[in-house]
Amino acid sequence: MGKFTNDATDLLKAVGGKENVSAVSHCATRMRFVLNDPKLADEKKIETISAVKGMFTNAGQFQVIIGNDVSTFFNDFSAVSGIEGISKDAAKSIAKKNQNPVQRLVTLLAEIFTPILPAIIVGGLILGFRNILEGVPMGFLDGQTITQVSTFWNGVNGFLWLPGEAIFHFLPVGIAWSVVKKMGGTQILGIVLGITLVSPQLLNAYAVNGTSAADILANWSWDFGFFSIDKIGYQAQVIPAMLAAFLFVYLERFFRKHIPESISMIFVPFLSLVPTIIAAHVILGPLGWKIGTGISFVVNTGLTSSFNWLFGALFGALYAPLVITGLHHTTLAIDAQLIADFGSTNLWPMICLSNIAQGAAVLAIVIAHKGDKREESVSVPSVISAWLGVTEPAMFGINLKYMFPFIAAMCGSGIAGLLTTLMGVRANAIGVGGLPGILAIRGQDYGKFALCMLIAIVVPIILTLLFRRIGLFNKIDKIGEKLPIFDDGKVAISAYENVAIEGNSNNVATTEVCEPIITDICAPLTGTLRPLGAAKDPAFAEGIMGKGVVIEPSVGKLYAPFDGEVAMLFPTLHAIGLLSNTGVETLIHIGIDTVQLDGKNFSSSLVQGDKIKKGDLLIEFDIDAIKKAGYEIGTPIIITNSGDYNNVDTSAAKAEGSAIKAGELIITTR
């Protein structure tokens, strides 16, 4: 009988039995099920299984979090169920059957835009800073802009156009690459395809509307005698690049199947790329442009019509629920198209306000539950994260847990969205969320947007406290009883004795003070330290696995963070579970989805059960190779038994990130 035989048997019954399991796999921490009927999964029963630490559904997979012992649990599950595991990629493929067409489209858009989000965010910051330099008249400069009075800053402004142009004007290159990468095509050819859409030989997309048809025919066309093709560029266009990239991938797949391998190196790229480029400039580009223009026209018209207040209120209120479903990824494409067509977007300001409102609602919970150290370790970083544009920790960690702050944030965001549309606030760029979002706003709209930001902060705070007091939307009014922590850090432990008082039995509480066990967890990596909410995987970012931090390593060496032993070592070496001599269970997961590398670019001489000393070299990995393979390298360090401690202090991790060296203190448990 295995260690988890009973729990595995209970889980099999709770997911609907063997006949309901289409496929099952596991990663470093989770069982990943593809269920024939997800509704048969009894989540309440699963929560009672001792080995289960949480669950969620993502991309058609029902994922049950086990923790460091998942490989042992998986083996016991296979033994009791008779179901053999499959690869993670195969599970993902099967999982698609549980998604409707809209979900598949949303998942696809998310997977396309996620790899290029860092560039979009950086570009938004750059354009926002340039906006301040050249677009905002300063009162202390007699109404002139900074670039008008300073040669230095004028030079800085001009220089920053270089990366700004590279990111947004050449956005089709990134999109084509991301689509081809996602679909398993030849990535360098996706880059080449994107370049053919923005080549300097083409008439810049921003100049098309100012160029007559006769001029385009005479100076901007390829003349083939009996027909011609317009030399039109697609700078900043999203849909033409996506359509072209999808066509290329399907052509490449087709020719790889039908051309002998001995000559495929020559003919497959040629027969896939050249027809795609022709189709992109003759059919797909013009069609995609019209589709994108149509979408942006409808959105812009809705936000500038006499009913814009209604559109703004609804979008402002409903954007947060869109984040839950994943549909918010579609707004990136719409925002990009609005900027391409109108030079600015009226959608992005409302997205920023929604982020701010969610953070404000969490701040209200911090106020209402002041003194709850355990919750504050989650809620305070969540406020900061939301106000910097990442709302998932706030939404999933606090607001959705209590529900009433989530609804309060929706109300505040809706009111702010209504006002921002009525006042015609627009953004020159996208990518900068939360409070820094004001950098992307047009100079003339700064004051208006600042007012909307204030509303997005004040209204959710007031409503959250009000809903809590009157019990509206509030089914969980308090977190639960917490043991007090004295000023000297000692923990009060309550013990109850039955004492007879005047013939009655009463529970009388007596309190003893015990010295807390303190464990310091040091950085296992050298790099940049960030809060756990920065993790790219929701199971980590939302704290489902436990509290912790993220390190983006700059050196491919992982060291022991304390004295203890290796509790779990995944065969692919991308993740390791450690147990300290004081009982702290720690999971270190190098990168996200790196299990798919199957151990490539990782090396270690460890085996499970090995004793370790703080500073011992545990695993070596090739950062550049992992990044080139397309994987996120940010590494979560999770205290998987966080619930066993009164306080897990991760305050060393700042939202903006800070340099950290292996061996420096990052987490303390007590």
Three-state SS string over 237-292 comes to CCHHHHHHHHHHHHHHHHHHHHCCHHHHHHHHHHHHHHHHHHHHHHHHHHHHHHHH
Q: How far apart are CA 600 and CA 621, in angstroms?
A: 9
HEC assignment per residue over 174-185? HHHHHHHHHCCC
Residue 600: strand, helix, or coil: coil
Model confidence over 189-202: pLDDT tens digits?
999 999 999 998 99
Lowest mean pLDDT among 377-381, 405-409, 650-654: 377-381
Q: pLDDT band at 207, cuts 50/70/90?
A: confident
Q: What is the mean pLDDT of residues 508-533?
A: 72
Q: Report residue 500 as tokens.
A: 């007879």
What is the model's pLDDT at position 645?
Answer: 78
Residue 160 scores a pLDDT above 60: yes
User: Which positions are catalytic?
Assistant: 27
Buried residues in 335-370 as b, exposed as e (16+ CB within 10 A): bbbbbbbeebbbbbbbbbbbbbbbbbbbbbbbebbe
pLDDT at 374: 63
66, pLDDT greater than 50: yes
Q: 147-156, 163-172, 288-297, 483-492 — which is least confidently predicted?
A: 483-492
**Residue 349 pLDDT > 70:** yes
Phi, psi (degrees; rounded to nearest 5) at 306: -70, -15
Type and span of the H or E element at 191: helix 187-198
Query: Can you read off the two tokens belonging to residue 38?
Result: 């997800």
Contact by Cβ (8 Å): 648, 642: yes
Report the pLDDT averaged over residues 515-544: 83
Residue predicted with more confidence, 427 or 331:
427
Mean pLDDT of 341-365: 88
- Using 50, 70 and 90 to split pLDDT, how confident is the model at 457? very high
Tens-digit pLDDT profile for residues 259-276: 988 888 889 999 999 999
48 is written with which tokens?
């009672």
Residue 182 banded pLDDT, cuts 50, 70, 90? confident
- pLDDT value at residue 617: 95
* Out of 81-90, 147-156, 282-291, least confident range: 81-90
pLDDT of residue 323: 67
pLDDT at 499: 31
Report the candidate in 493, 501, 548 with the shortest Cα–Cα distance to residue 523: 548
DSSP state of 203: B
pLDDT of the residue at 451:
95
pLDDT of 282: 92
What pLDDT score was predicted for residue 235?
85
Res 96: pLDDT: 55
Model confidence pLDDT, tens digit, residues 72-108: 888 889 888 888 755 555 555 555 555 566 666 656 6
Residue 223 and residue 355: Cα distance in Å, rounded? Answer: 51
pLDDT at position 449 over 50: yes
Measuring CA to CA, which residue among 294, 319, 631 is closest to residue 456?
319
Q: How far apart are CA 536 and CA 540, in angstroms?
A: 8
pLDDT at 561 over 70: yes
What is residue 115's predicted lDDT score, i.e. its pLDDT? 78
pLDDT at 503: 35
Q: Which stretch of DSSP H or E encloses residue 200? A: none
Tokens of 379: 């809620």
d(CA 61, CA 68): 20
- Average pLDDT of the segment spanning 379-393: 74
Output the furthest CA–CA distance in the chain (Å, rounded): 111
